[in-house]
Structure formats: structure tokens, C-alpha cells
A and B are shown apart, each in its own frame.
Chain A
Amino acid sequence: MTSTTNPRRPVALTGSRLRRSLALMGRGLRAQPWLYTWTIAVSGLAGVLTVEISTRLGRATDEVVVPALTGAPTTSATVWLGVAGLALVAILNAVAVAGRRIGAGMGYARLGAEHRRNLAHRYLELPVAWHRGRPTGRLLAHVSSDAEAATGVFNPLPFALGVALMLVVAAVRLVTVDPWLAAAAFAVLPAVMVVNAVFQRRMSPAVTEAQRLRGDVSDVAHESFSAALLVKSLGTEAREEARFARVADASRAANVQVGRVRAVFDPVIELLPSLGTLLVLGVGVWRASVGDVGAGDVVAAAYLLTLLAIPVRAFGWVLGELPRGLVGHERIAGVLDAPEEIVPGSGALAGSGPLGVRVEGVGLEVVGPDGPLTLLDDVTLDVAPGATVAVVGATGAGKSTLVALLARLSDPSRGTVRLGGTDVRSLAPEALAGAVAYVSQSTFVFEDSVRANVTLMDDDEPGAPSDEEIWDALERAHVADTVRALPDGLDARLGERGSNLSGGQRQRLAIARALVRRPRLLVLDDATSALDPRVERDILLGLGERGGPTVVIVAYRAASIALASSVVHVDAGRVVDVGTHAELLARDDGYARLATAYARETSRRADEAAAAGVEEDR
């Protein structure tokens, strides 16, 4: 598989279906050359040994059994000798089969792991904007079911390649014995292929349909159970039952359709080798009557067919897996080949202390469902080092888009963003992350210890903050008391299976995560929404001590805005006005309206807090 470090070569397969199928198999085999060389060799050996068993059985018949039964002179020594050879081959065969299966399993596991690793690494490289457009469920499905589908064909592939060798050996053997017998024995092969092809063609649409309807059953059940309270309060249980029964019945009918195809296919595919054996018997007896072959040859040929019954189907398994494999591979390629939108720079940031920010003529367009959409338009803005600036605007005005540029979570379509005079695009990711801390609206808590959640580093990593530094950050984020109250302190596990924090506590943890890095620019995108106004004020005021960072805050509350040295009013992707709160209130009508709405929101929260008897943040 192509490595993600070389994005030039596309992962997607091109060309006809056959070409893509061959490329899919070829790439996998080339990715594990030694393993597959070995596995295919062992598989071939297993195939040859399978033929050998039937040959030796035939020879034993001629040299041991027939003489023994017909009273020709034979000794138990001959019997034992013939049999010892047979036993040896049987043991070798079993060992070779084990080797083949283990090799195939290892190949499958390694190729799947390669896909999963590449996908996960790619997820980490792709920009946040790419992630926003994609449901988590689908990205996880790429890692689980698509990776499995893309590699599924490698399970039967070594077997099938070994069988191919076995068939060649068997064909040569039989032809040297008697061409007629060989023709009779191999007549069954094309029949098996044709039946398999017909089966695949009928089966795949039926299976697709059944799979789709299975999804419908799951969707209806999920939706209906999610609506359980509504169903109960309106007493619509019978209506929901009828709705579910409809999809359940459609799914039943589709499953029966799949079952019918299989029901016919299975007996037919089992019938073919049996009919082949009878054919060999008929032809064999005719050839024996002519005197061209011995009884042993007939027995060996007939027995070979019963042994071939299963292996020949390996081709069918490979063919059956290929369509699914191509689809799975295509989906994975869609992620791995996604264009690199943010090219990291390599420069460092000079100086120390709070950073000045300069946004120059920045515009940003994205492609929406109804054509291009302008998110930011000709934005120019200056933030002095050490200042605290509030970005204010209605929902959808472009506030978050604007501040995300400062942390280079995305790049503008036009214009530049400079930190301390340096274009962010020229900075190495580590340099940027070391200087700028960005805290978003929603806080993600990792299933890990409090310590790891704050540092986002392993303990032994160079530059990992000490416990004192962590506690200091927790103190400044006003969450140290909460952590102290946890059973294991810094080692307490958080996340789904660990202690759960309230919305306000999570936000404060996220702020500690930013502060522990001692940023030179702190960007808070509505990151204090769940905090009590007093706590918020204390945190923000505390930042200014000890030569704190420049702060850019997206805020909705009059109290937060009051803490800012200046306010930027953003509307429809443009900067409307910049000034102090009082200045804007006096000269900017749009801003005055916003301020009134914020005041109303504040009083509503006070009302709810009083009713809930809550003193602390929610």
C-alpha cells in the first residue's frame, strides 16, 4: 500500500473492472512480498500433496489392495510400505494446509492494519473543515468495515493460487495416465466456474438489497426507540408497531430472496463434483475395458474429484469478494487521496511575550450546496500585543471562522494572517501550536487521565509539563478544586468510562489545557459559555498577570465583553466596526441591538438559575 508520506501517487484504482481487481490483488501481494511468496508456495505444496494423496491411494490400490484381494502374492511388508508413504503425505499435507492458513491470516491482518493506520494518520492530517463535513460513523466505518472489505479477498487468495497450481499438477498427471480420463475429470471445472458466475451475478443485487433493508430496519428501530417518550405520551405504540412491521416484512422478503438463490446454488455446486465422479467412473470403466488404464487409475481420478470439490470453490470465493473489495478500497482511497488543503510551513516564531496579530485583506469562500459561499470578506484587523479583544456578532456572522484562522485551523482564500509579523503559513506546526492556544466552543475530553487531558503528551515525552505546571494551569483555569476532589487527582480517568465532568468543568479543563502551554496568543471561541460570569471574569482577569498572552475571545455575554479592551463587531463576514464597548454602543446600531439581546439572554439565565436553585455554573 502506498504510504501517506507520499501523497503524490493516488491510492484510488483506475481502469476497467478487471484491471482494478487485478491491481487490488497485485498491490496487496506486493505490499507483503516475502509473506506472500512463502504462503503461495506453501499453498501450492498443499495442493500438490492433495493430488499426491489420491495418486498414492490409486497406487496403493494397484500395488497393495488389488493384489491382496485377488490373492496375488503380497506381504504385509508391502502393505506397510505403501501405507507409510501415504501416511507421510497425509501429515505433510496437513502441515502445509496449516501453513497456508496461517500465512493467509497474517497477510489479511497486516494489510488490514496498514489500511487502518493509513486512514487514522490521514484523519490526523486532514484539516478540521474536512472533518466537519463528515459524520463520525462513516469515518469509523472506513476503519472497520471498509478496511475489512478491501482486504477480504486476501483470505481465500493464497488458497486459490495454490489450487491453481494443484490443478495444473493434477491435469498433467491425469493426461499422462489417459487423456480421456483427464478430459472426463476436468469437465466439471468449467461447469463449476459457470455456476459460480451465475450465482455471483444473481446474488450480489439480492444481497445489496437485503443489506439495505436491514439498514432500514435498524434505522426505524433506532428512530422509534429514540422517540419512545413521544410514543408513550401520545399512545402511538400500535402505529409504531405497524411501521416497524412493514420494514421487518420487507427485510424478511429480501432475506428469503437471498436464501432462495443460495438454496438452489448450494445443492448444485455440491452436485457437480459427484456427477463428475460418476462421469470419471463411466469413462474409466470404458477405458479399462479397452485396457488402457488400470483400476487404480480410475480410483485415483474419481477420488481426486471428491478432493477437488472444496478447493475449486476457492476461485468462487475470490470472485465473490472482489466487488466488495473494490468498493471498500474506493472508499478508503477517497480519504487517503483527499487533497492536502493546509501545507505546513517550517519556520519558527521570533521573540517572546504576547504576540501581535495582523489580519490583512482576508477573504474566505467555501463551496456550499448552492454554489460558492462567502464566509469572510476583506477583513483587516490589528490586535496589539497583550490586548484582550472581544469578537462580537450575530450567529453565522463569521466570528468562529475568523478566529480559527489565527490558529491556522484553516487558511483564507485571500489575504494573510500574521503573528508577530510572520505569516502563519510559513510556521512549522509545532511552532504555531507552541505560540497559539485555541479553545473551541465544544470541549473534547479524551478517555485518559486528567494529566494527559491537560498536557496531551505522554509523561516521558520531552517538554512534557511537570505536575507543578499542570496544577498551576488548573488553578488559573479555576478547576484545580474539582480535580483535587476526584479520587485519583491528576491520575483520575476522564471520559465515557471515567469520571464525568459538568459542561462548565469541561470548559475549564480545556482552558487549563491551553494555559499549560504558556501561549503567546490565546483564542477563546465561546469557550466560556457554560461558566458562571464571576468565574469567567476571574479567569480572564487572571490571564493578565505575569505578562499574560494576547487574548482574542468570541463572546455572547455583556460581562465578557466588558472585560475586553476593544470590541470587533463582525457581520456577514465583514468587520463593521472596532472600538470600545461604549463607543460601539453609541455609534453602531447593529451592535446596540446585539447588546440588548445579550442582556435578555443574561436575564433569562438568571431566571432559570434561580428556579433550579443553582449557584455555580451549569
Chain B
Amino acid sequence: MSVHEDRSPRAAVTDAAGRIATASSLGVLGTLRAGVRVSPELVTGIRLTLLLAVLAAIGRVVVPVAVQQSIDTGLLAEGGVDAGRVGVLVAAAALVLVLAGTCSALVNVRLVRRTEAGLATLRVKAFRHVHDLSVLSQDSERRGALVSRVTSDVDTISMFVQWGGIMLLVSTMQLTVATVLMAAYSWQLTLLVWACFVPLALVLPRLQRGVNRAFAEVRAAMGGVLGTVSEAVLGAETIRAHAAQARTRRRVDAAVAGHRDAQVRAQVRVASVFSGGMLVSNLVLVAVVVAGSFLGMAGEVSLGRLLAFLFLVQLFTGPVQLATEVLNELQNAVAGWRRVLAVLETPVTVADPPDGEVSPRGPATVELRGVSYAYPDGPTVLDAVDLTLPPRTRVAVVGRTGSGKTTLAKLVARLMDPSTGQILLDGTDLRRLRSASLRARVVLVPQEGFLFDGTLAENIAYGARDLAPGQDVRPLVEDAIVSLGLADWVADRPGGLDAPVGQRGEALSAGERQLVALARAYLAKADLLVLDEATSAVDPATEVRVARAFEQLAAGRSTVTIAHRLSTAEAADLVVVVDAGKVVEVGHHSELVASGGVYARMHEAWIAQTR
């Protein structure tokens, strides 16, 4: 359980206001415009790129023109074959081809550079925005889904821009140049070619949608396969202990067969669409031969021109078939872009005020005035709380699960803002404070500190802030270790401070991770610590260390602890009892036990259970 446990189940589903939308609601053009606004690198130097693309496209028609010229003025020249002229023509055409190819390579390189730069910007901006969002928004999505917004979603954009974008650019140019040239050779045949391809171009997107649906089914079926296999893997022990292999095997087999059949269905669709396009272009070829022959008989077109035409038709087939795939990629890219933009569009509700105040350091007093909090569209969790937490006081907040005690702590650390009322730090509303200043003074220590995959020293040093450039953080870490009485613990660990802690600190026990969190908090040198007490079982030696480190850490500071044990409340200077969203009792342990209220009843239950 982390700091979020006080959220009632209803609140978890209905926080519409804080949620990150699945996708931006922008249209295709709006998405592209917004995308370019976020990553302006995408369009820098686009004019030169377009110019180069036109030059590259010219290379595509060199061969048909060379064929036409060679046949009309070389092969069928008046007075026999003119081999010399053809030699010159072929050499010139080769030169143009190489130049156009160079242009093509330049276009590709330019597009790749610009898009990768633009998308890296988009990635980083979206990443930062996720961190700037409120905890509520962050929790509204699974971590994996958030990660995919800055990884695979951005990758689909880059796939399109680099492959699809180039294809779209080159194909458009190719079609344009080919049409112009065809029209110059024979306007009748050009009309014929267009008349054949336009219907195909109109039908293909519809067919492509069917293909997309089929592939969506394949992906869903793969999800089913992974689902059943992961049950077979995660439930390995249970399956073996109860000899349930046969049933699991049947389920896996069914899922695998379902995926295989979905794949075949998708392939059949793809094959039909592809060969359909192929058939049309082959038939266009035939139509051109027929029409060309009759036109030729009528003296409308030369042999060379007609043959050039046959080559030019080949230039049409590619783009029309590719166009459907490119459109598909475009859809994916726009969808990916929308998902990333949706992150950037999510408002930062707990924002850093642009002209915020700097709070002077020193003992911290916290005052809550009429503070209420309700999750968006959810029930009220805290209701009109008035409370003053004096400086240099050890405060314990107690209350049963769901009482609102965790919410109270989150509000004091400004992980969220109250729905009504205000929270003052030394007389200043938290919302008026500059974020950096607030975080310098108030630090929240979660139940289980997150550990990065690095060494113990690196993880502790994460708490240090405001370091001078090039300042060695090592002495600070060692000082924290000694001050919190953890020197013997570090000395006993093989590798000491430089031992790696593993992914998420798996090389450390839960208690040891708490020690790291406390050492970090020590380095952060905050005036007010908000602590979520750990509940996980810890071996006795570590428990003693945690308690001692906490004593040292709390000395001379204000602390607010979300207490999950009554023994913690017993040791505090001040106990705040929260019940059903209201602060019902405030006082010292002994006063509250004597007063016979909510706290006294909890205490009674405790005594009864230990007896």
C-alpha cells in the first residue's frame, strides 16, 4: 500500500477531471498542425526538401523517355538504326538517373534528421509533462500505458514520417511528373490510364479498412495467446500442484489456433487486395496496348511514345498500391500523435505559480483553514478541516482505513490542492509558493521509497538538492549515513555504499529500502517532513535501525506521520484523529485515551488484541 490507499474505490474510477485522455480529439489536420507546433524541427528546411524531392521524381521518368527517344530516333530512325545516337542518349539518361538518385538520398537523409529531432523533442516534452501532472492524473493510467505514450506511440509517428512520409512525397511527385509526361505523349491514353486507376484508388481505402480490421483481430488474438500463456507461467505452481496441465494446454491450444486462423484470414485479405491492384495495373497495360495500337493506326502516336507509355504505367502501379499502405500508416501515426498530444493537453492542475513567492527557511507551521477535498466526481474525502500544526512538533495522524488521513497528508505536501479552503505554510497559501521553494521546505517520504537501478550511494544521493556544479556528493551521503546511525548497516553490506541495489532495489529488504528513503529525506534538508509509515513486516534489527534513524531525522524539524500503528501515535507530541473526513480529536495520546472518544476505542481494541 502506498500513499494512495485512502482513495475510496469509487473515487478511483470517476476522476474524470484528472484523467489523461486516451487520445486528443483533434482532427487529422489539427493533429498534424498541433504536432508541428510541439516539434517545429519537423518543418525546418521543408522547402529545400520538397525541391529536392521534385528533382528526385524526375529521375523516375528518365527510363521511359530514354526508351521513347531510343526507339523513335534510334531504333526506328529514318535510314536505319542510329546506334551512336542511342549511346549518347543512354549515357545522358544514366547521368540524370545518378543525379536524381543523389537527390533522393538527400531527401531521405534530411527527412530522417528532421523527424528524429522533432520526435525526440516531442518525447521529452511529453515525458516532462507526465511528471508535471498531478498525482491524480498520473495514477489514472497504468505505468505501462504512460510509458507507451513516450515510446511506441512516438515510434508509430516516426515510422510514418520516415517511411510513409517519404513514400507519400515521392509517390505524389512521381504521379505528377508521370502524368505530365504522359499527357505530352498522348492525352487520350493518359485519360484512359487515369480512368482505370481512379476507381481503384477510390475502392482501395475501403478494402484497406477491412485489412486493418483483420490485423486488429490478429493483435487481439495475440493478446489472448499471451493471456493464456502468462496464466500457464504465473500459475505454474498451482497448475502442477493440482495436475491441471491438460486443461491449461487445451486453453493455450485454442488461443494459439485462434491467433493462427486470424493471421490466415488477414493474409487472405491482404493477398486479395494486393493481387487485385496488380490485376488492375496489368489490365491497364493491356488496355494501353489495345488503345495505343488503334491510335497508332490512326497516326496519333509513335511506337516509341507508346512503349514509353507502357513504362510510365508501371510508375502508376507502385504509388497507387503503396498509397493505401501509406494511408494506413498515416492513420496509425495520427492515432499515435493524438495519444501523445493528449498527454500534453492534460491540464496541470497542481501548477507551479509563474510569479510564486519564496518561502523563507526555518521551523515550519502548517495551518489548514476550512479544507475540504473531493475526488473529481467522487465523494468528499475531507470535510471542512481546521487544524494548526505547530513548528518542531511530531504529529501523528491516525484514523481507520478510508478515513481521509492519507488525503490530509497529500494536501499538506501539495501533491493535490484542496477543493475548498486553504493550507498555509508559515502564513502563505501553498498555491502561492514557488514549487522549488515548497519542495525545499516540505518533503514527503512515501511508505516504501522507490529505488533506482544503481548503487546504494547513488540512490541516497538522489535526495541531495541545490548542489554546486561539480560538487562531490559523496561526503554528503557519508554524513547522512553517520548522522542517522546507519554506518554499521552500510559497513555490514558487501560492497558497502557502492553495491548495486538492483531493479527497484530488489537486493534490499523492505526495511532497508525504508532506511534509504530516510537517508534521502535527510539529504533533502526539508523543514517539514510528511511521512507515510510503513506497514510491511521488517526483521527486528532493521526495525530498531529504522526507528533510530527516524529519531535523528525528526530532531529539530516538524514532522507529520500518517500512523498505521497506535504505538507510533503514543510516541508523538500531538495526535490528530481523522474519522469519516473530519478531524474529530486533537491532543496528546494520554489526553485522548482519557477522553473516551474514537481514539480511546481504537486504543481499547489494541489492548484487547494484544492481551
Which residues of chain A have a CB within 8 Å of any CB of chain B? 53, 57, 60-61, 64-66, 68-70, 74, 76, 79-80, 82-83, 86-87, 90-91, 93-95, 97-99, 101-102, 104-106, 108-110, 112-113, 116-117, 119-121, 123-125, 127-128, 131, 136, 139-140, 143-144, 214, 217-218, 221-237, 240-241, 244-245, 248-249, 251-252, 255-256, 259-260, 262-264, 266-268, 270-271, 274-275, 277-279, 281-282, 284-286, 288-289, 295, 298-299, 302-303, 306, 407, 409, 429-430, 432-434, 436-440, 443-444, 446-447, 456-458, 461, 510, 513-514, 517, 597, 600-601, 603-604, 606-614
Contacts and interface: CB of A to CB of B under 8 A. Distances in A.
Contacts of A108: 263, 267
Contact of B286 (A83, A104, A248): A83
B564 A228 contact: no
Contacts of A245: 120, 124
Best-buried of A131, A226, A610 by chain B (most CB within 10 Å): A610
A296 to B, nearest CB: 10
A262 B293 CA distance: 42
B504 interface: yes
Given A119-B229, A124-B248, 13 more contacts: A64-B289, A124-B252, A228-B131, A229-B3, A233-B444, A278-B94, A281-B67, A285-B70, A285-B83, A429-B245, A447-B227, A600-B540, A612-B400
Contacts of A221: 127, 146-147, 150-151
B151 A214 contact: yes
13 contacts: A121-B249, A225-B146, A233-B443, A234-B439, A255-B112, A260-B109, A263-B105, A271-B101, A288-B81, A289-B83, A409-B237, A517-B242, A608-B535
A284 to B, nearest CB: 8
Given A221-B127, A225-B146, A456-B244, A123 B109 contact: no
A223 B278 contact: no
Contact of B105 (A87, A267, A288, A409): A267
A577 to B, nearest CB: 22
Interface in B9-67: 56, 59, 62-63, 66-67
Interface stretch (B301-309, B472-480, B589-597): B301-309
A206 B470 CA distance: 34
Contact of B303 (A69, A80, A223): A69
Contacts of A83: 286, 289-290, 293
Contacts of A214: 151, 155
B404 interface: no
Given A116-B256, A224-B127, A98 B248 contact: no
A117 B260 CA distance: 11
Interface stretch (B184-192, B359-367, B445-453): B445-453
B247 A274 contact: no
B540 A597 contact: yes
A603 B543 CA distance: 14
A446 B83 CA distance: 79
Nearest to A533: B609
Interface stretch (B203-211, B481-489, B599-607): B599-607
A235 to B, nearest CB: 3
A430 B243 contact: yes
Contacts of B415: 229, 232-233
Contacts of A440: 237-238, 241
A123 B230 CA distance: 10
Nearest to B133: A228
A221 B97 CA distance: 45
Nearest to B282: A90
A64 B289 CA distance: 9
B377 interface: no
B213 interface: no
A3 to B, nearest CB: 13
Interface stretch (B71-79, B382-390, B423-431, B552-560): B71-79
Given A223-B452, A233-B443, A612-B401, A124 B245 contact: yes
A534 B303 CA distance: 99
B256 A120 contact: yes
Given A98-B274, A112-B260, A252-B117, A444 B234 contact: yes
A168 B437 CA distance: 77
B90 A106 contact: no
A611 B101 contact: no
Contacts of A140: 226, 229-230, 233
Contacts of A603: 610
B572 interface: no
A108 B610 CA distance: 65
Contact of B445 (A64, A233, A237, A610): A233
Interface in B192-248: 222, 225-245, 247-248
B303 A224 contact: no
Best-buried of A101, A240, A457 by chain B (most CB within 10 Å): A101
Nearest to A128: B237
Given A83-B286, A90-B286, A610 B609 contact: yes
Contacts of A112: 260, 263
B545 to A, nearest CB: 16
Contact of B293 (A79, A97, A228, A240): A79
Given A131-B236, A409-B237, A606-B609, A106 B267 contact: yes
A218 B260 contact: no
A593 B150 CA distance: 52
B275 A606 contact: no
Contacts of B602: 610-611, 613
Contacts of A517: 242
Contacts of A270: 101, 104
Contacts of A446: 231, 235
Nearest to B303: A69
Given A264-B105, A271-B98, A614-B401, A306 B249 contact: no
Given A69-B297, A143-B229, A218-B147, A298 B123 contact: no
Nearest to B5: A612
Nearest to A260: B109
Q: Which 7 A-B pairs have the closest CB atoms?
A: A105-B267, A613-B400, A235-B439, A259-B112, A433-B243, A263-B108, A90-B282
B450 A105 contact: no
Contacts of A264: 105, 108-109
B311 interface: yes
Interface string B560-582: 00011111010000000000000
A127 B74 CA distance: 78
Contact of A109 (B146, B264, B450): B264
Contacts of A279: 90
B164 interface: no
Contacts of A125: 245
A264 to B, nearest CB: 5
Best-buried of B56, B117, B286, B450 by chain A (most CB within 10 Å): B286
A437 B241 contact: yes
A45 to B, nearest CB: 13
A98 B120 contact: no
Contacts of B123: 217, 244, 248
B354 interface: no
Contacts of A275: 94, 97
Interface string B102-129: 1011001100110011011001100110
Nearest to A136: B233
B158 interface: yes
Contacts of A614: 400-401
Contacts of A240: 127-128, 131
Contact of A222 (B147, B283, B301, B445): B147
A517 B232 CA distance: 20
A230 B104 CA distance: 49
Interface in B269-313: 270-272, 274-276, 278-279, 282-283, 285-286, 289-290, 292-294, 296-297, 301-303, 306-307, 310-311
Best-buried of B75, B94, B117, B250 by chain A (most CB within 10 Å): B75
Nearest to B452: A223
Contacts of A225: 130, 138, 143, 146-147
